[in-house]
Structure 1
Amino acid sequence: MKRMHQPALTTNSTNNEDDCGLVDDPRYEPEPCPYCGRMLKHKAYSLFGKLFGTHLERCNCPGAVAERERLYQEQLKKQQEEELRRKMERIEWLFQQSRLGKRFRARVFETFEIRDYNKKAFEIALDYAKNFDMYKEKGEGLFITGGYGVGKTHLAAAITNYLIRNKMATVIFGNVTTLLGRLRSAYSDDSEYEETQILKELYDVDLLVIDDLGKEKPTPWVEEKLYNVINERYENYRPIIVTSNLELEEIERRLETCGGAIVSRIIEMCRGVKIVGPDFRKEKIL
């Protein structure tokens, strides 16, 4: 930009309050368009008799228009790549926070083997994942029960994967032993975390998945902490998904101290999904 040797310029308007808008800036010499050679003036914004924001006017010749479009697309591509990078970093962080094991990251809806006996459960789980915002608002979860190897954990993991990848939701996935094991470790002198911090994560996460409920050793401490977590989420309309090989009556009997209260809240919070079928793991070796 070649600047002409002129003193600082003010506009010639007699009423500076009305003098505002885009005007020619005579302080700078015109420059040719690199594509068509048309001489382009420098423009500036005039406000109260002073000029600022000087820039070269745009040419609308095909070459200039094409160049602007190229630069726009280049900038848009960089922006999209940056957004994707940030999204992938966020997703990876969410997976780490979810405690979903590597094996279960492959348990998605696309890899679920649909059969006659599990088709309805698959449809319910998929609908839950796709419409999670609605179910979350109501604090509604799922209680998935059935024998070994019918796909309960796969469906719970598929929901977890879907919510993290597609809705950027916060999810914690684990059985009672692993979920409360970190809480138990908080009592050690060298623990990095306090009990209140760990409990807050279990209370506040968008979705808590409790896998294989009833398989853990039902000590009074385990039952008390499990009840506290479920009750806190119950009171604040935060959904849970529970999978178990046991019926609710069996869970209640197994959890002698708080079983009744835990089961009562599961019944109110969750839609029941029962899968009756053969163990697919055994089919692989027969």
Structure 2
Amino acid sequence: MATQSMEEILKRLQLKTSQLQAEESDGLEKAKYDCPKCKDETGYIGYENGVEVWIRCTCISWRRANRLMKTSEITNEFKRLGFQNFDTENKPDVIKDAYECSLMYYQNFESIKKNRNNSIALLGQPGSGKTHLLMAISNNFIQKKHVPVLYFPFVEGFGDLKDDFDALEEKLEKMKKVNVLFIDDLFKPARGKPRATDWQIEQMYAVLNYRYLNHMPILVSSELSVDELCDIDEALGTRIYQMCQDYTVVIKGDRKQLNHRLVGAPS
């Protein structure tokens, strides 16, 4: 075999170096963009039937979903909650009913969203998966249907707003106008009594009455029953019931079986 000359070796090294630099440059170029395909222009020049046209990039779909997720105020932990990771195995029938009701609501949403009965309420036992299921609906609305959702955890939400009037007015306006409003742990009890000050009732009534009158969907979780919501404020409670009556599940029973946080707890 002929021995390679020093010149040939140098040429091979130079070629290899050029290739590595080109690959590195290409990698850095791609790293500059969220979508290397369109370079974040949401489209690119292509050809159809030999004619130069502007083609919308497929990244538009996930960009829209990302924007909606950012404005939803859903936490990073809750973004992972879906129907697929909700466990119904060996669970009581009422938990399975809640799962099936939630899935059916999501599947039927397009046909009911403008109706009076276009909302869903999961009520009763804490730790039974109410928030998980309503969050699964919310995440699927955002990611698959590109429907804007606003998440409002009742206790934390009003805790953050009670001393900031400007922020309160802005948040209430968003709660009234967003396509879908998710109210989590409405009037959550403390020491066995519902947290429901006159001020909180007044703000919730203003939001829910606006949505009721304009046929705008709500997702509601609460440890309270329909009767208990009506005991707090009958006008508010009956509106929630009327909006959610086709998709309401009340979860009651043995807490050791219903509360997933008590699984394995001693009797």
TM-score, with normalisation over the residues of structure 2? Answer: 0.68
Q: 1:137 to 1:280 in 2, by over 3 A?
A: same
Q: Deviations over 1:78-117 (max 9, x none)?
A: 946x232x22222111112111111111110010001342
Task: State the partner residue of 1:31.
Answer: none
Aligned partner (choices 144, 147, 150) of residue 166 of structure 1? 144
Task: State the partner residue of 1:268.
Answer: 242
What CA distance in whole angstroms lies between the structure 1 residues aligned with 2:220 and 2:154?
A: 10
Residue 119 of structure 1: SS of its match in structure 2?
helix
What CA distance in whole angstroms lies between the structure 2 residues aligned with 1:205 and 1:185?
A: 23
Q: 1:186 to 1:88 in 2, by over 3 A?
A: farther
- Contact preservation (8 Å) 1:172, 1:209: yes
Highest Rg: 1 or 2? 1
Q: Deviations over 1:53-86 (max 9, x none)?
A: xxxxxxxxxxxxxxxxx9669x9xx946x232x2
Task: Name stretches of at least 5 consecutive residues in structure 2 with no aligned partner.
Answer: 1-45, 190-194
Aligned partner (choices 68, 82, 86) of residue 94 of structure 1? 68
Superposed counterparts of 1:192-211, under 5 Å: 195=169, 197-211=170-184
What CA distance in whole angstroms lies between the structure 1 residues aligned with 2:65 and 2:223?
A: 31
Residue 207 of structure 2: SS of its match in structure 1?
helix
Task: State the partner residue of 1:226.
Answer: 204
Q: Deviations over 1:113-142 (max 9, x none)?
A: 013422221111112112212221114111
Task: State the partner residue of 2:218.
Answer: 240
Aligned partner (choices 250, 259, 266) of residue 279 of structure 1? 259
What CA distance in whole angstroms lies between the structure 1 residues aligned with 2:124 and 2:159?
A: 25
Residue 110 of structure 1: SS of its match in structure 2?
coil
Task: State the partner residue of 2:153.
Answer: 175
Task: State the partner residue of 1:142.
Answer: 120
Number of aligned positions between the proteins: 204
Structure 1 residue 146 displacement after superposition: 2.3
Mapped pair 1:103 → 2:80: no
- Contact preservation (8 Å) 1:136, 1:206: no
Q: 1:194 to 1:120 in 2, by over 3 A?
A: closer
Residue 137 of structure 1: SS of its match in structure 2?
coil
Pick 1 or 2: higher relative contact order, CA cutoff 8 A, min separation 6. 2
Task: State the partner residue of 1:126.
Answer: 103
Q: 1:265 to 1:167 in 2, by over 3 A?
A: same
Q: 1:72 to 1:182 in 2, by over 3 A?
A: farther
Mapped pair 1:83 → 2:61: no
- Contact preservation (8 Å) 2:120, 2:220: yes
CA RMSD of aligned residues (A): 2.7
- Contact preservation (8 Å) 1:210, 1:241: yes
Structure 1 residue 251 displacement after superposition: 2.7
Task: Name stretches of at least 5 consecutive residues in structure 1 with no aligned partner.
Answer: 1-69
Q: Deviations over 1:161-208 (max 9, x none)?
A: 010011100111122234445654542xxx5x572x432211111111
What CA distance in whole angstroms lies between the structure 2 residues aligned with 1:179 and 1:230?
A: 15
Which residue type is aligned with residue 96 of structure 1?
Answer: K
TM-score, with normalisation over the residues of structure 1? Answer: 0.64
Structure 1 residue 156 displacement after superposition: 0.6
- Contact preservation (8 Å) 1:182, 1:198: no
Identity %: 30
What CA distance in whole angstroms lies between the structure 1 residues aligned with 2:223 and 2:98?
A: 15
What CA distance in whole angstroms lies between the structure 1 residues aligned with 2:168 and 2:126?
A: 36
